Structure 1
Amino acid sequence: MGLDKSRVSGQVWENEFIHWNPEDYCGITEVAVATDALWKPDITIQDMIDKDKSTPCPYMMVYHNGSVEHKNDQVVVSTCRMHAYKFPFDTQSCDLSFRSVMYWDDAIQLIPSENSTEATKGSLKTLRTQYEWLFINITITKGKVTPFIHQHDVITYSILMKRRSVLYVVNFVLPVLFFFVLDFASFLISDTGGEKLGFKITVLLAVTVMQLLFNEILPSASDRVPLIAVFCVGIFFLMLLSLLESIVVLHLINKDEKQHQEPDQDEVYRQLKGTVCLHVL
């Protein structure tokens, strides 16, 4: 038993026990029957991690040539491994695998109703992605799995998506760069006084707050440290060195001023001592 490749809406299979001549029944070529009245394949999505909460279709169409069509729209919540090394300029691929739970490949043979190109064109017409992800294409592959003893046919739909990175660049990358430019421009501030040191500490605290916000938006499941995290740590390290440089410079300036003031105090002390000696004489 196989799926009819001529139909792309839902699941289609042949029931050899249902046939009639439309001329004998007033030209009726199709009829809707309840889903519980006939057998239907137990096709499931093995990547689903949550129960489908959509309302199932209570009917399926039966055609005079024995074809049975079942349309069942589902809200699928699945999981896939994230590769966040290039975040937020990354592309992700998530798989949806369809297979039968009870029937092996000798009983049910799964055949995709369309190829990857047709599926991609159809998805581009129907999808209206306005959120974080941008749909690129769908790749359809057919294979076999052996969950227990017998082999089962499996059809995998690999969905390739690209993250919309504009918001991350505007809301995070550019502000961090602006703070770094401000910290670099602080070298033009005079080292005399505490304005320069206070300015650098303020900018460093602002970058620290940005990093705390970044931890909330960065995907936690990743094998490698994302490049944007290395970028933030590098910026923070350079700004920390700049702050330490300002502290050292202020310390050296204060030390140099004290060294110039000490000889003057000794000279005043010698002059006072000489005056006292002259009065005594």
Structure 2
Amino acid sequence: MGEISPREVCSYQDVLNHLNLTKKNEKFTSSRPVSDWTRPTVVHLDVYLYAILAVTWNNDLVTWDPKQFCGISNVTVPKEMLWLPDVNILERTEEKDKVLQVPYVSVSHRGEVTLEDGFRVVSTCKMDMYKFPFDTQSCIITFCSSIYTNRDLHLLPSSNSSWITQGSLNVLQTQGEWDFLGISVSGQKDTFNGMQWDLLKYTITMKRRPLLIVMHFLLPILFFLILDMSSFLISDTRGEKLGFKVTVLLAISVLLLMLNDILPSTSDRTPLIAVYCIAIFAFMLLSILVTILVTYLIERDAATGDPSKDGGHCKQEAGGEGASCERVAAVCEPTRDGDRLADSQVLRLILLELQALRGRLTPPAAEQGWARPRRRERLARRVNTAFICVYVVSIGLFLLLLFLKWTA
């Protein structure tokens, strides 16, 4: 029987001893880890929404042959033992972001070092609120080095845009007010003081969920507008119509106060939701003004009065030229002694009847004067009817145009 050789025993520490990799060895931390200084260090980034999952680069000083160490091809060491790339986020607004730091890095036998850290970054983002709340926003996160130019450090994406988008969808558990659409990555170069830096830009695209704004803001204003339109069915001769319209206008004014909390203080263009609110407010204000005008014209007719209601009919029947109801009553009243009417009284009755007949054929001046004020009421009715038609058509066209702009 042949001699059986004992199994070779190796450990991770053997690899570290072979590399002389210790925390006190400044060889691995003081400078960029390349054997030839003219060769740049290539750093690969993988960025997913809410986290930077992987940063990979090559370290020429930490390589070994796995065959010499029982096939060990990967070791894990503390971050303090190796050089780390200087990668910053340009849009970051807070100096200390919330970081889920992993204290170790992974080193492969080929010198590939992988750092995996989770970041919660607070950054600036230019938002276009023109189509709010049916808007789609794109925010950019730019990675670059503050020290190393592109001669020393190259930034490249580890994955393409579709892979990053799918990975982010797998990481996301809840999206809140926003729907995540995707992430696109692109590499650029920036020149400053005659030197170039590599930039890696990640564009995050998200769409707002408008249901909350529609239910709590847009629909109530639309309902108030419908109430204002239905108020045209209320009689103009009663004061309830004007009071009802003013109440509806005040209710919309309260809703407009919410707009200050929803929209940002600055915007390049006036948001469509602001146009929507201002236009409806203007429509209702114009409706109140027309109601005031119509009410004024009708009340002027009522103040002038109808002569036929103040005994004018009695005067018309008696004949207007010096005759009066009292005189007719005196003539028509039988004598106290029951005697028959004298011939002169009969003639006077016939004269009064003739005068009354002439009064019926030719309207008196008082009744002609009553016809003129009645024209104000007819004018008020025509103005009200014309305004209702124009009001409804204008609101319909405005809402249709606004809807097309919102959905374009």
Is residue 77 of structure 1 aligned with residue 122 of structure 2? Answer: yes
Whole-angstrom CA distance in 1 between matches of 2:251 and 2:193: 56
Deviation digits for residues 24-52 of structure 1, max 9, x if unmatched?
A: 33432222222121111101111111121
Alignment: residue pair count? 274
Whether the 8 Å contact between 1:5 and 1:113 is mirrored in structure 2 is yes
Counterpart mapping for 1:79-94 below 5 A: 79-94=124-139
Structure 1 segment 1-281 matched on structure 2, within 5 A: 1-3=41-43, 9-51=53-95, 52-260=97-305
Distance in 2 between residues matched to 1:160 and 1:4, nearest whole Å? 22
Contact 2:46 2:157 in 1 (8 A): no
Q: Residue 82 of structure 1 contacts residue 221 of structure 1 at CA under 8 Å; is this kept in 2?
A: no
Instruction: Sort the Cα spacing of 1:231 and 1:9 in 2 relative to 1 into closer, same or farther, 3 A.
Output: closer
What letter is aligned with 2:282?
F
Q: Is the 8 A contact 1:129 1:135 kept in 2?
A: no
Distance in 2 separating the partners of 1:148 and 1:234: 52
Q: How far apart are 1:197 and its partner, in Å?
A: 1.1
1:260 positional shift: 1.1
More helix by share: 2
- Say if 2:44 and 2:155, in contact at 8 Å, map to a contact too: no
Kept in 2, the 8 Å contact 1:192–1:250? The answer is yes
Deviation at 1:265, TM superposition (A): 7.0
Paired AA for residue 111 in structure 1: L
Shift of 1:235: 0.5
After superposition, what is the alpha-carbon deviation per residue over 1:234-260, rounded to whole angstroms, capped at 9, x for unaligned? 100010011111111221121111111
Q: Look up the SS of the partner of 2:238 in the other structure.
A: coil
Distance 1:232 1:45, change over 3 A: same
Unmatched 5+ stretches in structure 1: 276-281
Residue by residue over 1:57-99, the C-alpha shift from the partner in whole angstroms, topping out at 9 and shown as x without a partner, is 2211111111101112111001111111111111111000011
Structure 2, unpaired ranges of 5+? 1-40, 316-323, 326-408
Q: TM-score, normalised by structure 1?
A: 0.89
Q: Separation in 2 of the partners of 1:147 and 1:87?
A: 37
Relative to structure 1, the CA distance from residue 216 to residue 5 in structure 2 (aligned partners, 3 Å threshold; closer, same or farther) is closer
State the percentage of identical aligned residues: 46
Q: State the alpha-carbon separation in 2 of the partners of residues 46 and 141 from structure 1.
A: 15
Change (3 A) 1:183 1:138: same
Report the residue type matching 2:68 in the other structure: D
Alpha-carbon distance in 2 for matches of 1:98, 1:246: 62
Residues 186, 45 of structure 1: CA spacing in aligned structure 2 closer, same or farther, 3 A cutoff?
same
- For the pair shown, which has the larger CA radius of gyration, 1 or 2? 2
Structure 1 pair 55–73 and aligned structure 2 pair: CA distance change class (3 A): closer
The amino acid that maps onto 1:229 is A
CA distance 1:124–1:53, shift in 2 (3 Å): closer
Whole-angstrom CA distance in 2 between matches of 1:209 and 1:148 = 55
Structure 1 distance, partners of 2:123, 2:46, is: 28
Offset, 1:264: 6.5
Deviations 1:196-215 (A, max 9, x none): 11111110011111111122
Q: SS in structure 2 opposite 1:167?
A: helix
Residue identity matched to 1:193: R
Q: RMSD of the TM alignment (CA)?
A: 2.7
The secondary structure found in structure 2 opposite 1:118 is: helix
Contact in 2 for aligned 1:30/1:61 (Cα 8 Å)? yes
